[in-house]
Structure 1
Amino acid sequence: MKFDKWRNKKAASPAQGGGELVSTLFLEESPTLPLVYRSNVPDVDLSIWYEKNEQAILANLDKYGAVLFRGFKVNSQSDFQSVVTKMIPQTAEYVEGATPRTQLNDGIYTATEFPADQEIAPHNELSYTMNPPDKLVFCCLQAPESGGQTQIVDVSKVYQRIDSKIINEFNDRNGWLLCRNYGTGFGPTVSKAFGMDNVEDIKAYGEKRNLKVTIISDTQVKTEQVRDAVHSHPKSGDKLWFNHISFWHPSSLCPTIRATMESSLGLSGLPYHTYFGDGSPIDDTTIDEIRQAYADEECKFDWREGDVMLLDNWKVAHGRKPFTGNRSVLVSMG
C-alpha cells in the first residue's frame, strides 16, 4: 500500500490520544488550554485532515474554546489559505478595527502590528460590534527568537472571577460605552477603520448598527456605541465577560503617553475611552480588578512555525506578549 493512501485512510478517523497519525494532548507549558492535535507523521495536509475530522474537532472547540494544530504541513500563506477555506468558509472583513494590520489576501490579515516591545492585552475580537466573528484562526509562519506568545483566556472563567458587585454595576448602568475619535493623528484613520472614504456612508453604516456617528470634518469622526458587558454564549448559554472595557480604558495607556494625549486632545478627545453605559466614568480600581481576572486565567505557549490555532472568539480572548526577533503570525476571522 502506498504511504499517501495509508495516511489518508488513517486521517479519516477522528484523532484519539495516542493515535498513530495524530495525537491529542495538552502542552506541559499550558496544561488546560489549548487542546492540541499533534501530527506524528510529516507532511500531513491540515486542510484535508481537518475536513475529514471536522465534527470531532468542533466538538472539542465547543468544549475548550481553543484548539492548536501542530506538526502539520503548513509552510506558507497559501497553505494557510487552504486551511482557512475549511475552517472558516465565510471570512469576515476587519471593519471598525482599531489596531494596525495588513490585509494580505481575501480574509487573511497580519496579526496586530504593534511594536515588539509592547504587550497587547487579552480581548475578544470586535466585541463592540453588533456581529463579532464566531471564530478566529491564527497561523505562525515565523516564530520569534523569544516571547511573542498569543496568550489566551477563557472569558467564562473571567466572568466567574469578577466580583458580582462589579458585574451588577455594569448591568445597572446599561452595560458599557465605547467612545472613539478618528482622524486625530492617533490610531487609525476613518477610511482605514471603516473601509470607506465618504463620511456620509459611514454615518449610514452606523445607523444600521446602533453606532452613533458624529461627523466633525471630512477626515475626523467620533463614534459612540453602548454594548452589554456580559453576553451569553450563542451555543452553550454560558455567561461571558465579552467586551473591551479594560482594553480601551485610558488607564491602559502608559502614563507618559496618556498625559501627552490628554494635554493635546483633552479626555473626551482620546482615540478611545470606555465608560459605564450611562456615560459615567469607570474608576481605575474597577479596571484593575477586571485586568487581574484576565491575568489569573491566562494561558500561553511558545509558537512553533507551522502552528495553527482555532479559537471560539466568544469563549476565548487572545492577546500578544512582547517579543524579540522577527515574528510572522497571520489571522483570519469569520
Structure 2
Amino acid sequence: MVRVESWTPLEIEPEGIGGPEELVQRLEEMGPQELAGLLAEEKALVFRGFDVMAESLPALIALLLPGSSGWERRGAVDTVCRTETGRPGTTIWPVQKMSAAHAWPTRLVMYCDTAPLSGGESMVVDAARWLAALDPALSERLIPGVRYVRYFHDGSGFGERWQSTFRTDRREQVELLLDGTGDEWTWQADGGIQVSRILPATVRHPVTGTEVWFNQIHRWHPAGSGPQQTLSRILPEEKLPWNVTFADGSAIPGHVVSEICGLGFATAVDIPWSRGDLMVLDNISLAHGRRPFTGKRRICVAMSS
C-alpha cells in the first residue's frame, strides 16, 4: 500500500490592516500563478478573520477564480448562496463536484454567509490518500473506469421523466441530443430510456501529476451513501434512477462499496465555518461533503475550470 502523508488545509489569517481589503491586497500581490502553485501544493486555502461580506465577493472571486465570469455585484449572494433546510440531520458524503460528468470544475470557492448553530463542517477527503488506502486489486479492476447509469421513466416511476429532463416529448429529438454526448442509450419496453456513460474512476492531477480517486461510486451505488439505499429496496436494479457498475456493465459488489465509503470516511478532515470565512479548494485533489448541523447554514459556492 502506498503511504500518503496526512493532510489539513492551509489557514490564512490577517497580518496587517485586516478586513477584506487586506485579503484583496494579498491576493493581488500573490498573482494568479503563485496562487495556482500554492493551491496545487496545499489543496485548500481557508481565509479566516477577514470579515468578508457580500459586497466584497465579486472582487475576491475575480482573484480566486481568474478567467471565470465571477459573481455579478447585484444579487451576488442570492445567486450563489443557499440556506440549507432539507435534512440537516444527515451527512452529505464527500465527492468531487461533477466527477460523474464529462467535464468538471478544477477549483471551487466557498463562502460562509450564515454559520450553523452547531455542526455543519465541510467534510473533506484527500483523494490521493483515499486511493492509496484502497485494495490494489480494486484499483486495477477500475482502470477501465466506471459506468454511470440513469433511468428516466415515461411518466410513472421514481426519479425524472425523460420528457422533463430533455425538454421534449419527441423520441427522435432525445436521440439527436444524446448522439452528441458520447453516452449510450436504450429505449425500454415500458417507454422509459436508460442512458449510461463510462468515465474514469481515477485521474491524474493536471499540475502535480498525482493519481487521485475521482468518481461517485459511493453516491450512485445502491449500497452507498445516497438515496439509492432506500430505492433499491423497492425497485428492480434496471429501474433505479441512478446506478453505477464496472465499465463492462458487471455489478460492483455491495461490500466493495462499503469498503470505499469506510476508507473515505476514515480519512476525512472537518473544516468548521464561521460567518465571513472563505475557502478555495482544488476539486480534483479533494472531495468535499457536509456534516449534520442545527440552525441555518448558508454557504455560497462558485467554481471555474
The higher-RCO structure (CA 8 Å, 6+ apart) is: 2
Residue identity over aligned pairs, in percent, reads: 26
Unaligned runs of 5+ in 2: 1-5, 71-76
Residue aligning to 2:11: 36
Specify which of 311, 318, 322 is matched with residue 281 of structure 2: 311
Specify which of 64, 73, 77 is matched with residue 87 of structure 1: 64
Cα separation, 1, equivalents of 2:85 and 2:69: 20
Residue aligning to 1:324: 294
SS of aligned partner of 2:302: strand
For residue 38 of structure 1, what is the amino acid of its counterpart?
A: E
Deviation at 1:212, TM superposition (A): 2.8
Specify which of 266, 269, 277 is matched with residue 299 of structure 1: 269
Q: Which deviates more from structure 2 when the two are superposed, residues 157-166 or residues 57-66?
A: 57-66
Contact 1:231 1:242 survives alignment (8 Å): yes
SS of aligned partner of 2:109: strand
Cα separation, 2, equivalents of 1:48 and 1:213: 51
Contact 1:206 1:213 survives alignment (8 Å): yes
Change (3 A) 1:204 1:42: farther
Q: CA RMSD in A?
A: 3.1
1:51 is aligned to 2:33: no
1:233 is aligned to 2:205: yes
Residue aligning to 2:3: none
Specify which of 239, 257, 277 is matched with residue 269 of structure 1: 239
Deviation at 1:168, TM superposition (A): 0.9
SS of aligned partner of 1:231: strand
For residue 286 of structure 2, what is the amino acid of its counterpart?
A: V
Deviation at 1:186, TM superposition (A): 4.8
1:287-333 deviation digits (Å, cap 9, x = unpaired): 12211221232111210111111011111110011100111001011
Instruction: Give me the TM-score of the superposition, normalised by structure 2.
Output: 0.81
Residue aligning to 1:123: 95
Unaligned runs of 5+ in 1: 1-30, 93-102
1:67 is aligned to 2:45: yes
SS of aligned partner of 2:26: helix
Cα separation, 1, equivalents of 2:279 and 2:192: 37
Contact 1:111 1:330 survives alignment (8 Å): no
Cα separation, 1, equivalents of 2:212 and 2:146: 15
Residue aligning to 1:211: 183
For residue 14 of structure 2, what is the amino acid of its counterpart?
A: S
SS of aligned partner of 1:243: coil
Change (3 A) 1:202 1:153: farther
1:255-288 deviation digits (Å, cap 9, x = unpaired): 9x7455542x422111211111111111111112
Q: Which deviates more from structure 2 when the two are superposed, residues 137-146 or residues 219-228?
A: 219-228
Cα separation, 2, equivalents of 1:190 and 1:328: 32
Cα separation, 1, equivalents of 2:176 and 2:62: 31
Instruction: Give me the TM-score of the superposition, normalised by structure 1.
Output: 0.75
For residue 155 of structure 1, what is the amino acid of its counterpart?
A: A
SS of aligned partner of 1:131: coil
Residue aligning to 1:286: 256
Residue aligning to 1:21: none
The number of residues matched between the two structures is 284
